[in-house]
Amino acid sequence: MKKIDFTGLIDSLNDSKKKRIAYCLVYDIYPPLTHIDFISAVAVPFENQQDADIFLIELLKYFEEEHNKTTYDFIPLSLRTYHEINKLQELEKLGFYKLMVIFCIERIEYILTEMQLAEEGSTLAKVKTNQPAFREFIDLTNIKNQYLIDLIKQITYIKEFHEKNYLEVNLFKRFSDIEELYNNGVLPLNRNLYMHGRVNDNQVDYLTVQKSLLAFSFFEQLFVLKKQDIKKSVLRKNRHYGLSKITKNKSSLFLLYKNRVNNHRKSRNPKN
C-alpha cells in the first residue's frame, strides 16, 4: 500500500471505483468518511468475509503506521464522544470485547434516534432503530450540499448487491436474513445477534471490535455532516490529532478539546 500513488488514484476515481465502498459495507467494513476517496481507490471486490477481513487488517495497519491513527481517531471529537471513547478504552483494557461491540451498537442507535427526534412532530414513540431507519439516515431529501450528496450516493451503491435493490446493511438485518451465515460460523456485525444474547464472549475477537468502532465512527461522522452540512468545517473537526499521537506526547485529549474551545472563543471575541 505504501507504493500506491494515492493522489493519482483519487483523481482518477470513476463510478466503478466509487462502488467499491459498497463492497466494504456488505462485509461490515464501515470506511471513515473523511477518507472515503482513499478507500474507494484501494478497495477491491471481495468474494468472501475472509478476503474482506484481510483487507481491513492491512487498511488499519496502514493508517496506524503511516498516519498514526487508530480506529478511535475516526470518531469525531466532541465532549460527548470524548467520554464515550474513554469508556470504550477502559472496556478494551479489561478485555471486554463483546461489551465494546454492544456499546458501539447502542451508540449507533442513539444517533439514529437523535436524527429522528430532530424532525418536526417526531416523538420517542415513533422512532425506529431498524433497516428503514438506516435508509432514512442516508436519505438525500433536503440535502443541498453537493459534497454530502456525492458522499451518500457512494454509500447507496450497496443496493446493487441486494436481489431486490434494497438499501440495507448487516447491522439491522433480521434473524432470518443472517441465520445461514450464523450457522456456518460467520458472525456478522448485527444488532439483533448481540442485543438478544446470541453471541458468546469467545466469539468476539479484536477485529470484530475494530469493525464496530469503525461502524460507530461512520454513523457519527455522517451525523455530524448532516447536522452541519459544511464540508470544510466538518473535515477540520473530524481530522483531529490521532489519539495514539496524543498518548505518545503525554498530552490530555480533554486539554486538547479545552484548548480548541478556548481558541474558538478568542476568535469570536478578539478583544478578550
pLDDT at site 44: 78
Task: Quote the cell numbers at residue 21.
Answer: 465502498
pLDDT at site 43: 81
Residue type, 242: G
Give the number of other CB atoms < 10 A from CB of residue 13: 16
| pLDDT tens digit at each of 272 positions of the chain | 444 454 454 455 566 666 778 889 999 999 998 888 788 878 877 888 999 999 999 999 999 999 999 999 999 999 999 999 999 999 999 999 999 999 999 999 999 999 899 887 788 998 999 999 999 998 888 788 787 888 888 888 888 877 777 889 999 999 999 999 999 989 999 999 999 999 999 999 999 999 999 999 999 999 998 887 544 444 444 544 444 443 433 333 444 444 544 554 455 555 54
| CA geometry: angle 106, 108, 112, nearest 5 deg | 115
Q: What is the largest CA-CA distance in the chain?
A: 66
pTM: 0.79
CB 217 within 8 A of CB 105: no
Own/partner pairs for 19-25, CB < 8 Å, 24+ apart? 19/154, 19/157, 19/160, 20/44, 20/45, 21/154, 21/155, 21/157, 21/158, 22/154, 22/155, 22/157, 22/158, 22/160, 22/161, 23/52, 23/161, 24/52, 25/155, 25/158, 25/169
CB 203 within 8 A of CB 169: no
With cell 481517531, the residue in question is 73
